[in-house]
């Protein structure tokens, strides 16, 4: 139970990798703040029932927050509520919201191109900034309590972790994934920047670059049998990853 009294905030919290990561962190004692897009509201209770079979609504171990990560006001509101609820130390952020739509470089539309950057890059940045501010607020409260002797000087302040789910697409070209590849490469750069700027404040940032994972997003990219078979033939193991494997790494 490594994460007792710790809060993991998961953007894309009712998605495939987000759910697997939430389940694993909760099994280690973490409380969860699951962010879901307002347009996903109808799915939330069924995902909770399926993913967290022992969860009941009186339990404060999971709270859900509507949040369109591309909208600054929506992110501000969701993180404001998380701060008010303060069910545990807010020291983990898993950025697992994402978007893909396959189009060739010549047919990619301006709107769809932009949507990849808005969700995969800009939305992730907005969540990371809001999380960083929330964590620093917690850290300042702790430091003040130690300085004023409300807490013993030996009190250990937990560091924070940001895990951005990037993709193999950030490293290599993939057929019809132009905007997705570019957005994930940008996310790798953004993660390095978070790590570089925030590490000295106790916030460590990392990214994970999975290959194909069999989730709704994975099915959107690889659902076509011919496309899937061609791709799988090039994977040394011959398999897609399971969301649980990504969760283990996170």
Does 14 help bind ligand NAP (rule: CB under 6 A)? Answer: yes
By CB under 6 A, tell whether 178 contacts ligand NAP.
no
Of the candidates 82, 98, 102, 128, which one interacts with ligand NAP according to CB under 6 A?
98
x/- contact string, 152-171, with ligand NAP (CB under 6 A)?
Answer: -------------x-x----
130 touches ligand NAP by CB under 6 A: no
Rounded to 10 deg, the angle between the 110-117 and 178-198 helix axes is: 30
| Residue from 91, 96, 113, 207 binding ligand NAP (CB under 6 A) | 96
Helices (H) and strands (E) in the chain, counts: 9, 6
For the beta sheet containing 31-36, the strands, ordered from the edge strand earlier in sequence to the opposite edge, are 62-66, 31-36, 6-11, 89-95, 160-165, 203-208
121 touches ligand NAP (CB under 6 A): no
Work out the angle between the directed axes of helices 41-51 and 16-27 (0-180°, nearest 10).
40
> Which CB atom, from 7 or from 217, has the smaller least distance to ligand NAP?
217
CB of 24 to ligand NAP, least distance (A): 14
Interaction of residue 37 with ligand NAP, rule CB under 6 A: yes
Q: Is there binding between residue 21 and ligand NAP (CB under 6 A)?
A: no
| Strand blocks (E) in 166-231 | 203-208
* CB 143 to ligand NAP: min, Å: 32
Q: Minimum distance from CB of 230 to ligand NAP (Å)?
A: 15
Cα 58 from Cα 42, distance rounded (Å): 20
User: How far apart are alpha carbons 100 and 210 in whole angstroms?
Assistant: 14
């Amino acid at each position: 139970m490594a994460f007792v009294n710790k809060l993991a905030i998961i953007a894309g919290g009712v998605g495939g990798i987000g759910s697997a990561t939430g389940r694993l962190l909760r099994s280690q004692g973490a409380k969860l703040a699951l962010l879901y897009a307002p347009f996903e509201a109808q799915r939330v209770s069924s995902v909770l029932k399926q993913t967290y079979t022992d969860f009941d609504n009186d339990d404060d171990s999971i709270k859900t927050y509507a949040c369109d990560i591309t909208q600054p006001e929506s992110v501000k509101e969701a993180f404001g509520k998380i701060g008010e609820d303060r069910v545990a130390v807010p020291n983990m952020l898993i950025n697992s919201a994402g978007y893909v739509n396959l189009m060739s470089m010549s047919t990619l539309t301006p709107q769809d191109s932009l949507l990849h950057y808005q969700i995969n890059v800009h939305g992730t940045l907005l969540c990371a900034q809001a999380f960083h501010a929330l964590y620093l607020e917690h850290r300042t409260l702790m430091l003040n309590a130690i300085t004023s002797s409300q807490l013993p000087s030996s009190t250990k302040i937990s560091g924070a972790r940001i895990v951005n789910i990037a993709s193999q697409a950030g490293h290599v070209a993939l057929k019809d994934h132009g905007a997705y590849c570019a957005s994930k490469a940008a996310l790798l750069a953004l993660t390095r920047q978070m790590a570089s700027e925030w590490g000295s404040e106790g916030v460590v940032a990392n990214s994970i670059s999975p290959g194909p994972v069999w989730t709704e997003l994975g099915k959107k990219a690889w659902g076509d049998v011919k496309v899937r078979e061609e791709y799988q033939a090039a994977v040394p193991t011959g398999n897609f990853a399971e969301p649980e494997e990504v969760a283990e790494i996170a």
